């Protein structure tokens, strides 16, 4: 295929007419839209409805008979200090966890992309393996490792430090939970960055290095800018996942000690577990709101400048 | 397409410095990678070790790193578990439906959002992003009601359908497509190709890394999914692997069968890792060298 | 994406939401056989027919198929389909199925957490004359009663008693504590005899801890819910209960980060802990952990919980059965449940899985009566109460567990904790009806 440039014409003249292009586009979108409407849009709207009622477990068979309570669930949520604390916990998890995960994933993607010939596949697989593992088993190991007499403290003891009881300390439990999250997910960041790095044509680098640009300059002026769409995607994805963090606090600490690691998703789940469907839905929507706001901010900040 | 100019002497000197720096940096890089790899693998040592220990050993000394006696008992019991073959087949069928759906439906949607300018594009993308953000707990009961109304309860299709077009896949494809130069596609259109042709003949072959990523992510989502298949299945014959394994580990009297659980963890991990290893080379393919000739 | 358009979209969504739930509710009812509201037609003795779908959680139900073999033989026209569901997700799956109208005929429940299901739209009332309520331990039967209608039939029972290292107690020259005041000295003595921590406490700081505290409140003479439906949690009895429970930790007898679930029994066997407040299942498991048959018999003893000023009351828990309102074969379903409630079946269940009978008469069977270590549990079961049968109890209990954590760690006072729980419970109310 040749990249011939035809006779210069105004852009519009060579494109199919707008209406046909719209029709084609929606054809492309059709399968996704169908699944989306059925399994996401409809249930979300229903859940919004539930959040405005006092739907409970006993109402499951006649959801229409519930009382419309308006914003009462939301008010109860905002008045619950546990819920507010959980929001702070979750934000902390995201604020620390996302940069760490992204940074690690990016560094490894760079390293694996920079001419390491041998064992590239092995390395990539090893780093991706945590993403794939059964989180229940891993959480068990983490609990043992960070026990008062666990491996981590044994290692620290060998170099002369007396390790604390990590998961029992209200200040140290969250870092351990974050560590688990980072360990589990950096492989995804790495894979996504790898794909993004691959989209950058080699010629651009060759041209630059012939022009005398060193490694760091290439990184700053070629890689990072061209990687913006990928960086935005990784950032948004990780933020969205981490704002809904559940497995790590649930399995590692149950939200303790003293609720210092309890996340909003854990709160929502607990409400669901006791049959408080109205409250659970309301908590989900607060999460949704939070996630949306943060994502909008990220899109504004990281939008690729064309 | 730039022409390669004759190397200048100054360039050669730079080149030599660069090579020297690289040969020092290279082993360091390898070293750092190996260290990272070892740290990453530590928890697996425990899982693997646990899966090779007898149940009594686990119960009496749970925290040990190395087995006192290595035994394959857990794996044997796992494969002999009633219905194990069935769980495996179910998981595979669901995964195939989900992956196929994602590669076709989600790729098309992502491509459209990135490369086609059409009315309603912003709303559509907003909707994709919004669906990423809706927590599972919020929607799964209603999703189940819908599944039942569609007559898909207790079927593998019912399990697979909600995941057949993941917003995650759409997002990945869209972002990747944004990096693909428009010129390639424009050129094809100028040559008279219709949109479908541009997508299938020009774009998809270039989208190797993204398709590989989508394959892995959607396979992973489907393979490890637990609550949803549990809710949809009405009988054990529809259980997928994670559900079947959880059920089996709890089949022992009063205690969770940790040996079986850990052996199960290893077995469940393997197909994904194998798939990932296999897809390696597609991660390497890029726009480089195929577009601008 | 500008914000104003988002707000507009939200308004639209709110309006569509009610429409959404309307249409869904309509859809969900499609498969309903119109369930009779409160009729309980008497169940006769003719053989059962058709199919009965039974859902149960993994655990005691693992052996159910075997245990009901005689029933299946006596009812050859009946097909019993048993589905076992992973324990932790059992209620989630059941609720989803109920919401979608896709539930079974018979479902297992847990008395301590089944209040949210006790509604005629979900369960059928137990027919008159099917079983004799007084045959069961009172609190277990009461746990299935809402507004004077019984919805569940008890299946197996357990309660908590004190399980301790009899050898260490002998060494220290102490006997099991009989009153609250004896408890901490007993712990201290065990520690002098070599135990690491006297008590291997359950430190999940969740609903189970809350239930423990509730139990201590009863022992101190308090109640949780007044007969008028008002929460009575901020009482001197509750403060005493919290202080008592906290004393386990503040006296050094128990560790607030205690043994994890995997370690609880190994710690007990090795002497790192010397007591557990737990259920009867451990009796059958300790030999395997100690890798020695007969270890339990020579090293372990049990005793009812020490009495507070109002006696040694405990809570009861276990399993129960209910028939869903949507069931198309209620007749066969009740017959199966009736069979499971017979003393001989209860004993068979014990022999197969060590599940302790909910039927008091079955305890007289030699298989059970001959086990000295089970005596304490029987004594305790006869002195149990049911938790408040309101749908908000679980949340209140969970909150109580969390407040307990704060006090146990020295971060709050018992008085404050009681006040907090009362305020929380009042804000929740007692659920609908």
Can the peptide bond before residue A257 be classed as cis, meaning omega within 30 degrees of 0?
yes
Min Cα–Cα distance to chain A from B237, Å: 22
Give one DSSP letter per residue of B112-170, joined into a string.
HHHH---TTHHHHHHHHHHHHTS-HHHHHHHHHHHHHHTT-TTSHHHHHGGGTT-HHHH
For chain A, percent of residues with pLDDT exceeding 90: 21
Q: What's the average model confidence in pLDDT over C354-373?
A: 89
B217 in C contact zone (CB under 8 Å): no
pLDDT greater than 90 at residue A181: yes
The pLDDT value recorded for residue C346 is 95
Lowest average pLDDT, out of A116-130, A230-244, C372-386, goes to A116-130
Lowest average pLDDT, out of B29-43, C34-48, C144-158, C209-223, goes to C34-48
- Residues of chain B in contact with residue A200, where contact means CB-CB under 8 angstroms, are 179, 286-288
pLDDT greater than 60 at residue A306: no
The pLDDT value recorded for residue C92 is 85
Q: From CA C182, how far away is CA C247, in angstroms rounded? A: 12
Q: Are A151 and A141 in contact (CB under 8 A)?
A: no
The pLDDT value recorded for residue C395 is 83
Q: What's the average model confidence in pLDDT over C397-425?
A: 91
pLDDT greater than 60 at residue A7: no
First to last CA, chain B: 7
DSSP classification of residue C121:
T
Lowest average pLDDT, out of A179-193, B172-186, C76-90, C361-375, goes to B172-186
Q: From CA B83, how far away is CA B87, in angstroms rounded? A: 6
| 3-state secondary structure at position C276 | strand
- Residues of chain A in contact with residue B289, where contact means CB-CB under 8 angstroms, are 201-202
Q: What's the average model confidence in pLDDT over B137-143?
A: 83
Q: Using alpha carbons, select from B120, B124, B110, B119 the residue that is nearest to residue A19.
A: B119
- Residues of chain C in contact with residue B61, where contact means CB-CB under 8 angstroms, are 266
Buried b or exposed e, range A110-131, using 16+ CB within 10 angstroms: bbbbeeeeeebbebbbbbbbbb
pLDDT greater than 60 at residue A241: yes
Buried b or exposed e, range C279-294, using 16+ CB within 10 angstroms: bbbbbebbbbbbeeee
- Residues of chain A in contact with residue B37, where contact means CB-CB under 8 angstroms, are 123, 126-127
A135 in C contact zone (CB under 8 Å): no
Chain-wide mean pLDDT for chain C?
85
Q: What's the average model confidence in pLDDT over C191-216?
A: 87
The pLDDT value recorded for residue B253 is 53
C68 versus C101: the higher-pLDDT residue is: C68
Cβ distance C95 to A57 less than 8 Å, yes or no, reads yes
Q: CA separation (Å) from C242 to A230, C125, C238, C417?
A: 54, 37, 6, 8
pLDDT greater than 60 at residue C13: no
pLDDT category at C127 given cuts 50, 70, 90 is very high
A300 in C contact zone (CB under 8 Å): no
A225 in C contact zone (CB under 8 Å): no
Q: Are C242 and C189 in contact (CB under 8 A)?
A: no
Angle at C112 between CA C268 and CA C102, to 5 degrees: 120
Homologous superfamily, domain B82-289: MetI-like (1.10.3720.10)
B205 versus B7: the higher-pLDDT residue is: B205
Chain-wide mean pLDDT for chain B?
81
pLDDT (tens digit per residue) in A111-157: 888 766 667 888 888 998 898 887 878 888 888 788 877 788 888 88
pLDDT category at C16 given cuts 50, 70, 90 is very low
Question: At C128, phi and psi to the nearest 5?
Answer: -55, 135
User: Domains of chain B: which residue ranges?
Assistant: 12-75, 82-289
Highest mean pLDDT pick, A118-132, A287-301, C40-54, C205-219: C205-219
- pTM score, two decimals? 0.79
Q: Which of C100, C262, C269, C356 is the mutation pick for testing B, counting most B CBs within 10 A? A: C100
Q: What's the average model confidence in pLDDT over A46-73?
A: 81
- Residues of chain C in contact with residue A63, where contact means CB-CB under 8 angstroms, are 21, 24-25, 28
Cβ distance C432 to A56 less than 8 Å, yes or no, reads yes
Cβ distance C59 to B234 less than 8 Å, yes or no, reads no
The pLDDT value recorded for residue B19 is 55
Partner residue opposite C121 with nearest CB, options A54, A62, A168: A62
Chains that touch B (3 or more CB pairs under 8 A): A, C
Return the residue of B nearest to A278 by Cα: B138
Number of residues that make up chain A:
306
Q: Are C411 and A168 in contact (CB under 8 A)?
A: no
Partner residue opposite C257 with nearest CB, options A60, A82, A165: A165
The pLDDT value recorded for residue C56 is 95
C87 in B contact zone (CB under 8 Å): yes
B189 in A contact zone (CB under 8 Å): yes
The pLDDT value recorded for residue C432 is 56
Q: What's the average model confidence in pLDDT over C316-343?
A: 94
A72-302 adopts what CATH topology?
MetI-like fold (1.10.3720)
pLDDT category at B22 given cuts 50, 70, 90 is low
pLDDT (tens digit per residue) in B209-262: 888 889 988 998 999 888 899 889 988 889 998 888 888 777 665 567 778 888
């Amino acid at each position: 295929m040749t990249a011939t440039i035809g006779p210069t014409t105004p852009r519009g003249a060579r494109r199919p007419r707008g209406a046909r292009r719209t029709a084609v586009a929606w054809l492309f979108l059709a399968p996704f839209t169908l699944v989306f409407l059925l399994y996401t849009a409809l249930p979300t709207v229903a859940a919004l409805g539930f959040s405005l009622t006092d739907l409970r477990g006993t109402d499951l068979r006649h959801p229409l008979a519930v009382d419309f309570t308006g914003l009462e669930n939301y008010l109860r949520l905002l008045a619950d200090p546990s819920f507010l604390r959980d929001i702070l916990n979750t934000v902390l998890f995201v604020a620390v966890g996302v940069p760490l995960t992204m940074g690690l994933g990016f560094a490894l993607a760079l390293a694996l992309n920079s001419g390491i010939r041998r064992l590239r596949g092995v390395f990539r697989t090893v780093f991706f393996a945590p993403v794939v593992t059964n989180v229940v088993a891993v959480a068990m190991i983490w609990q043992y490792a960070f026990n008062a007499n666990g491996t981590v403290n044994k290692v620290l003891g060998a170099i002369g430090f007396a390790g604390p009881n990590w998961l029992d300390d209200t200040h140290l439990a969250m870092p351990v939970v974050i560590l688990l999250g980072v360990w589990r997910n950096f492989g995804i960041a790495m894979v996504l960055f790898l794909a993004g790095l691959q989209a950058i044509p080699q010629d651009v680098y060759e041209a630059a290095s012939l022009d005398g640009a060193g490694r760091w300059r290439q990184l700053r002026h070629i890689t990072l800018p061209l990687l913006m769409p990928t960086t935005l995607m990784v950032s948004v994805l990780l933020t969205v996942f981490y704002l809904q963090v559940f497995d790590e606090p649930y399995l590692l600490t149950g939200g303790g000690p003293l609720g210092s690691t309890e996340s909003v998703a854990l709160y929502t789940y607990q409400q669901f577990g006791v049959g408080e469907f109205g409250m659970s839905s309301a908590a989900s929507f607060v999460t949704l709101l939070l996630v949306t706001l943060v994502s909008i901010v990220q899109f504004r900040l990281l939008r690729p400048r064309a | 397409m730039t022409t390669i100019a004759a190397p200048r002497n100054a360039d050669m000197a730079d080149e030599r410095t660069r090579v020297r720096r690289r040969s020092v940096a290279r082993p360091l890089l390898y070293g750092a990678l190996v260290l990272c790899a070892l740290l990453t693998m530590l928890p697996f040592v425990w899982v693997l070790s646990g899966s090779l220990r007898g149940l009594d050993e686990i119960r009496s000394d749970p925290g040990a790193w190395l087995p006192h006696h290595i035994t394959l008992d857990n794996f044997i019991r796992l494969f002999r578990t009633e219905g194990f073959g069935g769980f495996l087949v179910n998981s595979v069928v669901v995964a195939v439906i989900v992956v196929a759906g994602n590669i076709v439906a989600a790729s098309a949607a992502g491509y459209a959002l990135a490369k086609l300018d059409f009315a309603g594009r912003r709303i559509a993308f907003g909707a994709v992003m919004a669906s990423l953000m809706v927590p599972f707990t919020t929607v799964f009961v209603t999703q189940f009601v819908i599944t039942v109304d569609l007559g898909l309860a207790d079927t593998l299709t019912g399990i697979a359908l909600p995941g057949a077009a993941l917003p995650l896949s759409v997002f990945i494809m869209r972002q990747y497509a944004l990096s693909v130069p428009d010129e390639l596609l424009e050129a094809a259109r100028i040559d008279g190709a219709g949109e479908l042709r541009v997508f299938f003949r020009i774009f998809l072959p270039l989208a190797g890394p993204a398709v590989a990523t989508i394959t892995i992510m959607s396979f992973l989502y489907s393979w490890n999914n637990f609550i949803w298949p549990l809710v949809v299945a009405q009988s054990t014959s529809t259980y997928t692997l994670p559900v079947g394994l959880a059920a089996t580990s709890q089949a022992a009297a009063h205690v969770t069968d940790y040996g079986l659980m850990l052996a199960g963890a290893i077995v469940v991990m393997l197909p994904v890792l194998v798939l990932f290893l296999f897809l390696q080379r597609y991660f390497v393919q890029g726009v480089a060298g195929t577009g601008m000739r | 994406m500008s914000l104003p358009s988002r707000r507009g979209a939200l308004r639209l969504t709110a309006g569509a939401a009610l429409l959404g739930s309307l249409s869904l509710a309509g859809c969900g009812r499609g498969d309903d056989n119109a369930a009779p509201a409160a009729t309980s037609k008497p169940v006769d003795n003719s053989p059962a027919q058709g199919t009965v779908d039974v859902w149960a959680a993994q655990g005691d139900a693992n052996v159910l198929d075997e245990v009901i073999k005689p029933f299946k033989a006596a009812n050859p026209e009946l097909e019993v389909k048993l589905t076992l569901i992973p324990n932790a997700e059992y209620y989630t799956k059941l609720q989803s199925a109920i919401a979608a109208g896709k539930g079974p005929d018979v479902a297992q429940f847990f008395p301590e957490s089944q209040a949210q299901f006790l509604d005629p739209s979900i369960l059928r009332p137990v027919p008159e004359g099917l079983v004799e309520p007084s045959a069961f331990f009172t609190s277990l039967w009461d746990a299935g009663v809402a507004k004077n209608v019984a919805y569940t039939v008890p299946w197996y029972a357990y309660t908590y008693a004190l399980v301790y290292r009899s050898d260490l107690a002998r060494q220290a020259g102490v006997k099991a504590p009989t009153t609250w005041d004896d408890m901490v000295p007993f712990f201290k003595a065990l520690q002098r005899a070599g135990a690491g921590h006297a008590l291997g406490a359950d430190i999940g700081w969740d609903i189970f801890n809350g239930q423990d505290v509730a139990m201590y409140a009863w022992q101190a003479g308090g109640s949780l819910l007044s007969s008028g439906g008002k929460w009575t949690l901020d009482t001197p009895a509750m403060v005493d209960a919290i202080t008592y429970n906290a004393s386990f930790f503040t006296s050094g007898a128990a560790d607030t980060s205690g043994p994890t679930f995997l370690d609880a029994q190994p710690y007990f066997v090795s002497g790192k802990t010397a007591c557990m407040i737990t259920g009867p299942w451990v009796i059958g498991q300790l030999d395997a952990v100690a890798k020695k048959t007969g270890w339990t018999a020579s090293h372990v003893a049990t005793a009812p919980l020490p009495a507070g000023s109002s006696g040694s009351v405990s809570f009861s828990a276990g399993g129960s059965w209910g028939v869903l309102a949507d069931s198309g074969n209620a007749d066969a379903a009740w017959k199966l449940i009736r069979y499971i409630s017979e003393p001989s079946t209860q004993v068979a269940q014990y022999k197969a899985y060590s599940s302790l009978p909910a039927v008091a008469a079955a305890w007289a069977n030699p298989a059970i009566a001959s086990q000295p270590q089970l005596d304490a549990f029987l004594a305790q079961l006869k002195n149990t109460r049911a938790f408040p049968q309101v749908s908000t109890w679980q949340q209140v209990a969970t909150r109580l567990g969390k407040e307990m954590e704060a006090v146990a760690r020295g971060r709050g006072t018992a008085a404050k904790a009681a006040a907090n729980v009362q305020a929380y419970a009042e804000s929740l109310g007692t659920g609908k009806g």
